[in-house]
Amino acid sequence: MVFLKLAIKSLKNRVFTTGLTVLSIALSVTLLLSVERAKRAAEEGFTQTISKTDLIVGARSGPLQLILYTVFNMGNATHNVSYESYEDIKKNPAIEWTIPYSLGDGHRGFRVVGTNEDFFKYYHYRGSQKIALAEGDVFKGLWDVVVGADVARKLNYKLGERIIVTHGVTKGEGVQNHDDKPFVVSGIMKPTGTPLDRGVYMSLQGMEALHIDWQSGAAPTPENAVPREQLNKDTLKVHTITAFFVGSKTRIDTLRLQREINNYKEEPLLAIIPGVTLSELWNGLSYVEGVLRMISWMVVVVGFMAMLIALTTTLNERRREMAILRSVGATSSQLVGLLVFESALLTLLGVISGAVLSLVLVAALKPWLETEFGLYLTGSGFTAREWVYMLVTLVGGTLIGLVPAMRAQRLALKDGLSVRL
């Protein structure tokens, strides 16, 4: 394959312009694939983070806000739900199970969730996956906590470790620590690949105990502080929770239940069907995605233009080369082939480096996406659609190569063997 060799050597000879051209194509392919990937990650993240929950109930706010702070660990609730309302609604015969959720405190950058043992029984993700413990047991005592897999790994926690909870902070280091009331790690969860891995779970009573001596959001003065030893799980009364998850007996019940909770007289509540809210969010996102994808294709076109310019400007210097090839027997269509081949090679290099770059980018951004957005990228490799994009780029780049190639053919026919430069 003499033309392969010629094309490679010729491109190598012009390594600087070749490099720039490949880079511009690579960057555009990276952008294209990254948009696609981000969309996929979001889609998977959104659909796999929670399942089998019919309703999420919280204080009345935006439906997206509710699902973001309960499921995705983003943002905070502005109001709480009183425990009486929760107990009252729980009695509804249409309800099969509930999981109370109490948020607001943190531990070294991870959020603390107050809940009960039903969390381990009924919380599902990725279809019918349930939370399982890798070590230890669920929280039984008031001062027990179960930590998510990421928490255990990052902070290197073992069973029996004593930990301090930070007040009012779900991210970063806090100012006010509940250091008078340490907790003990009683269990470590298996990884779920969801934001659950980044939580510390304790009983609702434990959460209540932390704040029992706090008054209107301020830490207790030493004389007001209630010592740890005086607190008891059975006598502590829970006052509020942040939200709760509901599983109803039938899906038809869900609709009625949603309406009843939304019209609840005692306090303003909001019940959402998580999948419905997510697919609304999803529709919004796909609009943004469409715009981003259009921009990426435009960048691909700009990349092609850069290649077109690079190939065309070198053409004049290469007229002599074309005449030599003609003299040793190359037909003018072989010259076209050579140039098209060069652009195909450039595009191929660009597509490959773009694909690799996008993988590197994903690997690099993965931890950030997980901590910031609770988006867990699962599944590697490329989807059929991504392969199609790469193929389209490849074909497009090769076709663009026809433009300078046809010009070269015209020049070669005009020049014959006598180029006077």
What are the residues binding other proteins (CB under 8 A)? 2, 5-6, 9-10, 12-13, 51-52, 54, 62-65, 127, 250-255, 258-259, 273-281, 283-285, 287-288, 320-321, 323-334, 372-373, 416-418
Pick the closest to residue 145 from 113, 103, 98, 123 (CA basis): 113
* Rounded least distance, CB 285 to other proteins, Å: 6
Q: Where would I find the beta strands (DSSP E) of 230-316? A: 240-241, 243-248, 269-272
Cβ distance to other proteins smaller for residue 252 or 301: 252
In degrees, rounded to 5, the angle at the alpha carbon of residue 49 between the alpha carbons of residues 45 and 55 is 130
* Rounded least distance, CB 135 to other proteins, Å: 31
Cβ distance to other proteins smaller for residue 87 or 267: 267
Tokens of 144: 């027990």
Measured in Å, how far apart are the chain's first and last C-alpha atoms?
30
Is the sign of the CA dihedral 369, 372, 373, 378 positive or negative? positive
* Rounded least distance, CB 157 to other proteins, Å: 29
Cα distances from 238 to residues 183, 207, 225, 227, in angstroms, run 18, 9, 18, 18
* Rounded least distance, CB 284 to other proteins, Å: 4
Cβ distance to other proteins smaller for residue 135 or 321: 321
Cβ distance to other proteins smaller for residue 276 or 406: 276
* Rounded least distance, CB 380 to other proteins, Å: 21
Cβ distance to other proteins smaller for residue 63 or 404: 63
Pick the closest to residue 281 from 37, 47, 31, 124 (CA basis): 47
Q: Where would I find the beta strands (DSSP E) of 11-94? A: 55-59, 81-82
Cβ distance to other proteins smaller for residue 132 or 413: 413
* Rounded least distance, CB 178 to other proteins, Å: 29
Those residues with Cβ within 8 angstroms of residue 69's Cβ, 6 or more apart along the chain or in another chain: 58, 75, 76, 77, 103, 242, 243
Give DSSP secondary structure letters for 192-218. -SSGGGGEEEEEHHHHHHHHTT-BTTB
Cβ distance to other proteins smaller for residue 163 or 325: 325
Taking residue 355's Cβ as centre, other Cβ atoms within 10 Å add up to 20
Distance of CA 3 to the CA centre of its chain: 45
* Rounded least distance, CB 377 to other proteins, Å: 14
Cβ distance to other proteins smaller for residue 124 or 239: 124
* Rounded least distance, CB 270 to other proteins, Å: 10
Q: DSSP H helical segments within 316-331, as ranges?
A: 319-327
Cβ distance to other proteins smaller for residue 92 or 177: 92
Asked if 19 and 306 count as a contact pair (C-beta separation under 8 A), the reply is: no
Tokens of 95: 């309800």
Cβ distance to other proteins smaller for residue 12 or 265: 12
177 residue type, one letter = N
Q: Tokens 């430069």 identify what position?
A: 421
* Rounded least distance, CB 92 to other proteins, Å: 16
* Rounded least distance, CB 226 to other proteins, Å: 39
d(CA 262, CA 271): 6
